[in-house]
Amino acid sequence: MTVLVVAKAPRAGRVKTRLAPPLSPRQAAELHTALLLDTLAACRAEHADVALLAGHAAEQAGLAALAPGVPIVLQRGRGLAEALRLGVADHAPAGPVAMVSSDIPGLPPGALRDAFAALEESADVVLGPAFDGGYWLIAMREPHEAPFRDVPWSTPAVWAVTLQRCLDAGLRVHALAPWLDVDTAADLGQLRLEIQPSVAPRTAALLEQLVVSGLVPEPTGVELVGSELLAASPWRAVLRDRLRRHDGPETSYTYLAVPRAVFVVAVTDESEVVLVRQYRHPVRDWTLEVPAGSVDDGEDALAAARRELDEEVGGRSDSWRHLASFYSSSAHLSLRSDAFLATGVTLSQPHPDEDERVVVARLPLADALARARAGGFVEGQTALALLLAEPHLVR
């Protein structure tokens, strides 16, 4: 039986970025370290064969320094889905495999023993649901493709869609106790309520320091009672969540869960902004947009921005600036976006996805900025990205 803890080296500015602010990049990296070490210790307390699963060879040195003597395995494939799927496939011949997130404050006591016991009895797949709609553990006796097929990764629908994929494939699923995944400021507030120092001593000690510094918000006062999957595709899902406020009755909330996205303001040396024209079916209209697209599971936002610029307009740049992170419509979508500015862009042949029909367009920089200020772009995220880029372009 093997336990693999999915881990990243704690580099400031590269981990727990959704927590900065309210935390500084250094504090976010310290929290990442505490969570990882507490989770690793909890796993080793219950099981002997525990290793770290690293995404890249460059992560190995940092992880080895953080956890001396713990074996480190490099993931195969691209993205989280392939890392999990191939991690199970590579280790299952030696016995059951459990893949554990490192974004959690330790483990619910006895979780690994329960997971492996369920696999020995009758379960094909064991899942540990997270309060954010994902899962903190997946375990199997033998490899199965279904739990990783057509899942809208990096959305609140991951748990619900994964469960449905398993049931559709006839797989027997055992669910462990829900556990907290710490990614946002709201998660910090909930962690303040639920932290167990005996389970996650490093995280509890650091959290107390952050509370004293006034960096941990009050809990939201909302409890997720259940989540119903209404429809799903590989890129999005419609969820109906049942919520209970501590001071009120149960209510429901229906919304669209979609992966993180990037938007790129691409400016050439000729002072032209590179745009794409596309037909958008939900609004039954053509829109003029900056190059944009979804972030693949496990992909860095800047890497996604580089990829989308290349795919949609054949663009390359060596000069990149992160402009801002924002929610596109927080009352209706889970979409979180990052805007980037790329200057000195050179263009070659685009190679969009098969189902994309895009026309590359160029506007003089001054005209594009004037149009954004005047409300001339109907695609709001494009207008926002251009306005965020303007101060840097004027300088």
Mark whether 265 and 252 lie in a shared domain.
no
Q: Look up the domain containing 226 and give its range.
A: 222-257
pLDDT for 221 equals 84
| Residue linked to tokens 């406020």 | 245
- Region 364-370: mean pLDDT is 96
Q: Within this chain, do residues 367 and 265 fall inside the same structural domain, yes or no?
A: yes
Give the pLDDT band of residue 96 (cuts 50, 70, 90): very high
- Residue 265 neighbours by CB distance under 10 Å: 30
Q: Residue 15: what pLDDT?
A: 87
Tokens representing 271 are 């002072």
> Residues 195, 295: one domain?
no
CA–CA gap between residue 341 and residue 320 (Å, rounded): 6
pLDDT single digits (tens) 137-172: 999 999 999 999 988 888 899 999 999 999 999 999
Domain count, the chain: 3
Read off the pLDDT of each residue in 242-270 and give the average, rounded to a whole number.
91
Indicate whether 250 and 176 sit together in one domain: no
- Structural tokens at position 35: 């969570």
Domain boundary among 212, 237, 270: 212
Is 245 within a domain? yes
For residue 60, being part of any structural domain is answered with yes
CATH number at residue 347: 3.90.79.10
Q: Which of 257, 281, 313 is the last residue of a domain?
A: 257
Domain boundary among 198, 233, 257: 257
Residue 282 has pLDDT above 90, yes or no: no
What value does the mean pLDDT of the chain take? 92
State how far the Cα of 296 lies from the Cα of 80, in Å rounded to an integer. Answer: 9
Burial class (CB in 10 A: 0-12, 13-18, 19+), 333: middle
In a domain, 188, yes or no: yes
Res 166: pLDDT:
96
| pLDDT at residue 395, as a whole number | 59
Same domain, 13 and 58: yes
In a domain, 281, yes or no: yes
Q: Are residues 102 and 117 in the same domain?
A: yes
User: Is 273 inside a domain boundary?
Assistant: yes
Residues 175 and 188 in one domain: yes
Is residue 217 situated within a structural domain?
A: no
Same domain, 187 and 53: yes
47: domain CATH number is 3.90.550.10
User: Residue 367's Cα: distance from chain center in Å?
Assistant: 35
DSSP 271: S
Supply the pLDDT for residue 141: 94
Residues 146 and 241 in one domain: no
Helices (H), the chain: 25-46, 60-66, 79-91, 111-121, 158-168, 185-194, 201-212, 301-313, 365-373, 380-394
HEC assignment per residue over 37-60: HHHHHHHHHHCCCEEEEECCHHHH
**pLDDT-above-70 percentage for the chain:** 99
Asked if residue 309 and residue 193 are part of one domain, the reply reads no
Please indicate, yes or no, if residue 374 is contained in any of the structural domains.
yes
On whether residue 266 sits in a domain, the answer given is yes
